[in-house]
Amino acid sequence: MRRVTLLSVVVYALILTALIARNGSLLALSLLFVTYLVAGLLRAPGGLSLEITRTLSAERVGSDVPVEVTVTVTNTGSPLEELLLEDGVPQGLMVSNGSPRHVLRLARDQTASWTYTIGGSRGYYTFAPVGVKAYDPLGLVSRERTFSLPAAGRLAILPPVLRLKYVAIRPRRTRVYSGLIPARVGGTGTDFFGVREYQAGDPPHRINWHATARHPETLFSNEFEQERVTDIGIVLDGRQQANLYGHQSLFEYSTLAAAALADAFLSQGNRVSLLVYGRFLQWTLPGYGKVQRERILRMLALAEMGDSQAFAGLDNIPTRLFAAHSQVVLISPLIYGDSPLQSEGTDDEEVLIRLRAHGYQVMVISPDAVAFEESVLRAAPPDKVRLADVELAARIARIERGLIMRHLQRAGIQVLNWDVSRPFEEAVHTHLGRPLAYLRAVAGNP
């Protein structure tokens, strides 16, 4: 019950009782409460006329980087005896220093300001309006209002970007601009590509004397493989069913991998796009350079897991978004086996092989769901589940997963089975950082 209501009830009850009992002393007693009530009501706060601004020390930061929020309030109306102000810190952000809530007195034209520090994990956060509650000096009457601040109300916490030295990819088609991706075309470059008949203008140091010695009538020159930039489409799997294991999720690891790969590909000069495939499709148009890096990181900050009937399987990836014969990188723990959401022909493995058959050079970065779930179960085994059972189940699941990976590799798909307990850059360096000649020899790409 509100304080003013309670006190009014007491006053009315005393007066009515005094009337009924015809008792003057009771009426006199009620004066004590009446005076208190009137004193509070006379100083009740009028309309709240405040000017509030909020400034953030940064509007985009990395994960767990502290951000200082400064709120300034100026009272342009009548004096406010007791004011409770609370800034609307978005859910998911933690206040590490200071407080978003303050109690103060503000005279007319007086300004108050305070700063607090927030931080949090990856996400795109929107601040709620500032809540204001003013009281009279006795706290009987309150006035509430929220102030929506038009600017500086958003904070993007970007995923951490790991620096990858080199990621070896070999798409079937490249763009015309020079870069670092082998183009399967002879010309100027660093890697040996083949031998052709000498042409006027070839520098003498390119002449292949061994081949020329076998054919005395003709001169032969070495040819090198051109290196160009290419189109790369990164697909981040945001399906809840693929990422969620108990209460733990692999999605943050996938996001981390997507950010690192996008950064590595863009710094090599490639044209990169990002598709987040989950509850719905989120698509960043292909682009180059730092602006595109920023776009992709902002989309990754927004990316969330979710489920939808339409995108239960990977078969609805809109391939027309990717340039023909370009490189597609899928980051997904993968769904396979007898998943209840999968219909005939929509198993992730089949979809990837189909994508490869359509001419895309496919790379799969797959956070190891089996190792992850095993570690989760080992850390907190459910009731009535023995560790030996967990171990056995993990062995069977690992064999099944290994088979799937091998099928994908046989279909010409580059696969990185990433145990998330290992650093991503280490896994990439081991499996994808090899020289291209080695990859050509081992992977048998056409």
Partner 1 sequence: MIWALGLVISAMAAAAGLMLGVPSSLRITLIAVALGGLLAWDLTGLRRRLRLAAAGDDLSIIRRRHLAWLGLAVGAGLLLTIAAMLIPLHFSFAWTTFLALAAILAMAQLVSRLLRG
Binding footprint of partner 1 on the chain (CB under 8 A): 1, 3-4, 6-8, 10-19, 21-29, 31-44, 46-47, 81-82, 84, 98-99, 101-105, 114, 135, 137-139, 141, 143
Instruction: Say which DSSP state 204 is in.
Output: G
| In the complex, minimum distance from the CB of residue 4 to partner 1, in angstroms, rounded to a whole number | 7
Report the residue number, 68 or 81, with the smaller CB distance to partner 1: 81
Q: 375 vs 255, 417, 419, CA distance in Å?
A: 20, 16, 11
> What angle do the packed helices 24-42 and 3-21 form, to 10 degrees?
160
Q: From the CB of 382, what's the least distance to partner 1, in Å?
A: 41
Complete edge-to-edge strand list for the sheet that includes strand 80-88? 101-106, 80-88, 128-135, 142-147
Strand order in the sheet with 281-287: 281-287, 271-277, 231-237, 327-331, 361-367, 414-418
Closest to partner 1 by CB, 114 or 166 = 114
Minimum distance, C-beta of residue 107 to partner 1, in the bound complex (Å): 10
Between residues 17 and 222, which has the closer beta carbon with respect to partner 1? 17
Please name the amino acid found at residue 297.
L
Structure tokens at 165: 């030295």
Shortest CB 126 distance to partner 1, Å: 23
* Helix-, strand-, coil-residue percentages of the chain, each rounded to 5: 35, 35, 35
- According to DSSP, the residues that pair with 106 across neighbouring strands are 80
* Residue 26 or 411 with smaller CB distance to partner 1: 26
If the CB atoms of residues 36 and 283 are measured against partner 1, the closer one turns out to be 36
CA distance 293 to 434: 25
> In Å, what is the CA distance from 253 to each residue of 31, 62, 185, 372, 410?
69, 15, 36, 11, 26
Which CB, 64 or 144, lies closer to partner 1? 144
Q: How far is the CB of 15 from partner 1 (least distance, A)?
A: 6
- Alpha carbon 188 to chain centroid, angstroms: 40
CB of 77 to partner 1, least distance (A): 11
CA 203 – CA 210 distance, rounded (Å): 16
To partner 1, the closest distance from the beta carbon of 73 in angstroms equals 13
